[in-house]
Amino acid sequence: MSWGNRKADRVTFATGYSVLMMGIDGTWQRPCTMLDISNNGARLRVKDSIEGLNLKEFFLLLSSTGLAFRRCELVRVNGDEIGVRFVEDKVPGKKKGRTLAKSDS
């Protein structure tokens, strides 16, 4: 599995950056090391087992106080390393794609 073929530019941490994964409902946490990051996602090395956890959506806590975080979803697993995609909040009432203009009839 190749980690190098990505669309977004990445910042790689030489020794890693300590972060914490936490379930959306707060029922589980896992310490991990962030190996690299981009605008769209990150690559993490998880210290404990992730077996049985709901990784469809979770928080990545970037600070010890929990004030800096990103909402994530699992993209790939390779041993103790995982790839995550940052989930963007949907703005109500704003639609992506084609917009229809009123025609002058």
Q: Per-residue pLDDT tens for 68-89?
A: 999 999 999 999 999 999 998 7
Long-range Cβ contacts of 92-100 (<8 Å, 24+ apart): none
Q: Alpha-carbon distance 103 to 92, whole Å? A: 26
User: pTM of the predicted model, to two decimals?
Assistant: 0.74
Residue 61 has pLDDT above 90, yes or no: yes
At 104 the pLDDT is: 53
Residue given tokens 């993209």 in the structure block: 75
